[in-house]
């Protein structure tokens, strides 16, 4: 997921930050175009997911990222949006969540009613990864690529899984508007994930409570 940038650091154009006023373009890529950008995407992964000093979390390797990307590209309706100037600034990719709810298998407890309803109606998009090169406008850029994927798929809710031990990624997503709705455990050997969701559009109190209401109790689920 997105890495928190180093605030207050000055950077010069040419080391990944766009020149002042440089327009950032968003572009949807086909699987064939993604194949041609694999090494560039791996480089983006390395710089955007750099572990800060003292962080005990050991991030997956560059090769592990490429292996996961290959597997994600095989999913039905895989989609990727990149942000670019004269270099690759960011990307987000994933695929729609199937209406049968299989993506949520392993969720701890009952799935909030609002999320279940959006899943059945085909309005949830699962982000496999969001990679943004650190720079002063990285949060705005992350928002743009996320919203582009959601609107392209007519989805009103984004969902993603983050390793519970990856505190840096969790903090970055929560601070940028993602809601933590619980834990999910895949088969034995896989890490335990936190499940985060991102509603598209205005996030009013009433809408969020409706989204997180638990079946049968009429109350929202706590993070």
CA distance 219 to 41: 42
Decide if 182 contacts 222 (C-beta within 8 A): no
Q: Cα–Cα distance between 145 and 137 in angstroms, integer?
A: 13
Task: Give, for all 223 residues of the chain, the pLDDT tens digit.
Answer: 443 333 233 333 344 454 445 789 999 999 999 999 999 999 999 999 888 888 888 889 999 999 999 999 999 899 999 999 999 999 999 999 999 999 999 999 999 999 999 999 999 999 999 999 998 889 999 999 999 999 999 999 999 999 999 999 999 999 999 999 999 998 877 789 999 999 987 666 767 777 888 776 555 554 4
**Which residues lie closer than 8 Å to 169 by C-beta, 6 or more apart?**
1, 2, 3, 49, 162, 163
CA 102 to chain centre: 19
Predicted TM-score of the model (pTM): 0.84
Domain assignment of residue 42, yes or no: yes
Residue 43 forms part of a structural domain: yes
CATH number at residue 194: 3.40.630.30
Q: How many domains does the chain have?
A: 1
Classified as helix, coil or strand, 157 is strand
Domain assignment present for residue 89? The answer is yes
Domain span holding position 134: 25-212
């Amino acid at each position: 997921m997105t890495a928190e940038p180093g605030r207050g650091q000055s950077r010069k154009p040419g080391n990944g930050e766009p020149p002042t006023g440089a327009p950032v373009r968003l572009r949807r890529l086909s699987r064939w175009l993604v194949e041609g950008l694999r090494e560039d995407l791996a480089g983006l992964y390395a710089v955007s997911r750099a572990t800060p000093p003292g962080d005990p979390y050991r991030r997956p390797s560059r090769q592990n990222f490429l292996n996961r990307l290959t597997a994600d590209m095989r999913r039905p309706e895989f989609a990727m949006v990149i942000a670019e100037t004269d270099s690759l600034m960011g990307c987000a990719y994933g695929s729609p969540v199937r209406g049968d709810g299989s993506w949520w298998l392993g969720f701890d407890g009952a799935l909030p009613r609002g999320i279940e309803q959006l899943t059945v109606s085909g309005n949830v998009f699962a982000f496999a990864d969001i990679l943004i090169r650190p720079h002063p406008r990285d949060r705005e850029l992350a928002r743009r690529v996320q919203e582009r994927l959601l609107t392209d798929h007519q989805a009103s809710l984004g969902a993603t899984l983050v390793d519970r031990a990856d505190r840096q990624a969790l903090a970055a997503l929560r601070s940028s508007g993602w809601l933590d709705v619980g834990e999910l455990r895949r088969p034995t050997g896989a890490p335990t994930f936190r499940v985060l969701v991102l509603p598209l559009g205005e996030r009013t109190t009433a809408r969020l409570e409706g989204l997180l209401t638990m079946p049968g109790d009429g109350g929202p689920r706590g993070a």
